[in-house]
Amino acid sequence: MAVISNIRKPKTHKGKRVLERRAPKLIENDKCTLVIKGGHTSGIVTAFLNDLCALKKPLIYRLKWKNTVLPFEDLSFIEKMCNKFDCSMFVVGMHSKKRPHNIIIGRLHDGELLDMFELGIKMYKPLSDCKDKTLIYGSKPMLLFSGELFNVDMKYMTLKSLLVDLFKGPTVEKIRTLGVEHQFHFVLSSDKNLCLRIRKINLSTINRISSNEFIFPPLKTPDGRAVQISLEDATPSVDFDLRRVCLPSEDKWKRAHRVPPEVIKGDKTPKNKHTDVFGSRIGRVHVGKSSELENLRPGSSIRTALTGHRKRGFERIKSGASNSGKTLVSNDVNTNKRRKLFTDA
């Protein structure tokens, strides 16, 4: 049941503008996240939710009061609140003896649940333990994923897509490379535990550049100065273990990834063309099977079989009246051409 169908008609101009802003668009707005605190929480869960709000500002809303919600049993309250605050993602934090330090992350599509993952916090280092606590408002981090299962297993591919939507930040047309100050590194270990490590990107100018010191040329600023990049461990850092999972059906997953035809017309991708890892464009040409290729004699070219024109040096003169007649006609034509040219001159 979609919650959007239950919206009443606006009675004021302000309500009309709000509904127009939330109406479906060809290019949707940035996804906002709703943070909900469960009925029973722990200090680790509360610290995680506080740091998540600090990392995701301004694309986040938080309910201040506690709510006894069970997302895997009833989603009506979460769908109602997400519709109220125009959020397409939610994060619920709770704590119990059966599932300690529990975090539930989910996405909505068209007012209905798309997918949901339950993660348990095994280790957490809060943002308050870091020396440099400065965070840029609305900054975009660099996301890095390590683990073979992120590209093989459908469950972990969906988890990767969920984490990208959660931490990618606002959508921008251009990115200033020197302004990217944080790296979010997601590591999926062999025992299927998820680790998040945040590192700060430090840039320092290089006065002298030696050829033996760098394998690749160093990064340069717009004014031409060489810059060296170094990573520094920062917080928060957390280790998760994967618990319950709610994956979407194939039909719902296709509907969520459907692209409007108006957008496809503006940006058409060329067919049978792709770019390899080295940046070279590779095209594929489909040629139908020709019957002439089967009758191709040894030593002749493919051009002869496709066009039907044979070179004089490779012609075979067969004995017979038909072949001799053809050669005589051609000789007469040549002599007539010569006589005509001679008389005109």
**Predicted pLDDT at 111:** 87
Pairing label, strands 193-205, 219-220: unpaired
Please say whether the beta carbons of 121 and 101 come within 8 A.
yes
Q: pLDDT digits over 234-253, tens only?
A: 888 999 999 999 999 999 99
Question: Which residues make beta-bridge pairs with 56?
Answer: none
pLDDT at 345: 43
Amino acid, res. 297 = R
pLDDT of the residue at 1: 43
Mean of pLDDT over the chain = 80
Report which of residues 192 and 41 the model is more confident about: 41
Distance (Å, whole) CA 67 – CA 94: 10
Long-range interactions of 265-268: CB distance < 8 A, separation 24+: none
pLDDT digits (tens, 9 = 90+) for 198-218: 998 888 877 766 655 655 677
CA angle in degrees (0–180, nearest 5) for 281-282-283: 125
Is the bond preceding residue 236 a cis peptide, omega within 30 degrees? Answer: yes
Helices assigned H by DSSP within 172-228: none
On the question of pLDDT at 84 being above 70, the answer is: yes
Strand 112-125 relative to strand 142-146: parallel, antiparallel, unpaired?
unpaired
Domains in the chain, start-ordered, CATH in brackets? 30-275 (3.40.50.10480)
Rounded-to-integer distance, Cα 91 and Cα 78, Å: 10
Using DSSP's 3-state secondary structure scheme, residue 283 falls into strand
- pLDDT digits 0-9 by tens, 110-126: 889 999 999 999 999 99
pLDDT band at 171 (very low <50, low <70, confident <90, very high): confident
Digit-coded pLDDT (tens) for 21-77: 888 787 788 899 999 999 999 999 999 999 999 999 889 999 988 999 999 999 999
Tally the C-alpha atoms within 13 A of residue 258's C-alpha that lie toward its C-beta. 11
The larger pLDDT score, comparing residue 286 to residue 146, is at 146
Question: How far is 53 from 64, CA to CA, in rounded Å?
Answer: 12
Strands 193-205 and 226-233: antiparallel
CA distances from 170 to 30, 165, 234 (A): 6, 10, 22
Q: How many residues does the chain have?
A: 345
- Taking residues 248-260, report their average pLDDT: 89
Per-residue pLDDT at 216: 65
